[in-house]
Chains A and B, each alone.
Chain A
Amino acid sequence: MSDIEQRDDTATDGVGDWAGNPYASRMVEYTPYAVALGMKFVSSSAGRGEILLPWREDLVGQDGTDILAPGVLTALIDHACGLAIMAGLGFEAAPATLDLRIDHMRPAAPRASVTCSAHVYRATRTIAFLRAEAWDVSPDDPVAAAQAAFTLNRRSVK
């Protein structure tokens, strides 16, 4: 009934028995801003999503550094979170970002591409809570870590 009670049946990784959405990659391939930044779908499963953002000269934050702008990572992280949700719930979940907090632990390496992996660690009927990390070389040495909450529309979802 309440959101709190809903948490019980979504305890495993926050996504319960949501079926994986085989078309989730479309949200990377057809979203204009994701396409404009050159994001590439890597993988998804229920409540998880991973996207690669290849390095590109026009996405650098400061001339002469060859380092991707932090704002580019913000979009990548936000989109990976959306992918993680839609991969579990389908497109009808219509997730919208409520808030997003990002720690930039270190700059990415010059000319390095960045990958972001996001997962839903808890979901209620109306809210999904996510964590995400982004790295250039190894997931063990992230450039950024993030935590986010998204609103969901689950009226049409069990």
Chain B
Amino acid sequence: MTAAADLDTILSSSPFARFLAIAAHADEHGVLATMPVRDQLVGNVMLPALHGGCVASFLEIACLLQVAHEVGTNAPARAINISVEYLRPARRETTYARAKIRRLGKRVAVVHAEAWQQDESKPVCLLQSHLRLPAGLASE
């Protein structure tokens, strides 16, 4: 129950995380996730801006990584629900995200995440989620 989560293992076991080419590493603030830009992720060609769906997915994965990192498991949590707020268009640039666990219960975690691009003080998207924790953690 205390084994460290391996972020690379978690990411490489998710085809969709690989599709989005998400990378992550842990530092003293928690997990920093990165999503490189590519043309396929564009949702608005005119602006241009990344699709809101891919930014939200990126934040969902950032939440899963932070939970895995703090709980110390490679077993994935599962989203019960999410609530996303779009603050500004996400430009065709590398996107970063961090998530913060606001409450870690026995079965459910409340996790907030935000994504930004060049300026961390200007988030492009916020996400709140309830995650069902993997079975077997409750006894801890």
Q: Which residues of A contact B (CB under 8 A)?
A: 30-36, 57-63, 69-72, 74-79, 96-104, 107
Contact = CB atoms under 8 A, between A and B. Distances in A.
Nearest to B128: A101
7 nearest interchain CB pairs?
A: A75-B53, A71-B57, A33-B51, A69-B16, A36-B40, A32-B42, A101-B83
Nearest to B79: A70
B14 A97 contact: no
Contact of A71 (B41, B44, B53): B53
20 contacts: A31-B51, A32-B43, A33-B41, A59-B15, A60-B14, A63-B15, A71-B57, A71-B60, A74-B53, A74-B56, A74-B84, A96-B86, A97-B86, A98-B85, A98-B86, A99-B85, A100-B84, A100-B86, A101-B83, A102-B81
B114 to A, nearest CB: 14
B82 interface: yes
A60 B39 contact: no
B45 interface: yes
Contacts of A33: 40-43, 50-51, 53-54
B18 interface: yes
Interface of B: 13-20, 39-45, 50-54, 56-58, 60-61, 76, 78-86, 89
Question: Which of A34, A75, A99 has the most chain B CB atoms inside 10 A of its CB?
Answer: A75
A76 B43 CA distance: 12
Contacts of B82: 70, 74, 101-102, 104
A33 B54 CA distance: 8
A58 B79 CA distance: 19
Interface-central residue, A35, A77, A78, A103, by most chain B CB under 10 Å:
A78
Nearest to B58: A71
B interface SS class: mixed
Contacts of A59: 15-16, 19
Nearest to B51: A33
A150 to B, nearest CB: 9
A98 B13 CA distance: 32
Interface centre among A70, A72, A98, A103 (most CB of B within 10 A): A70
A32 B39 contact: yes
A72 B56 CA distance: 10
A79 B53 contact: yes
Nearest to B50: A33
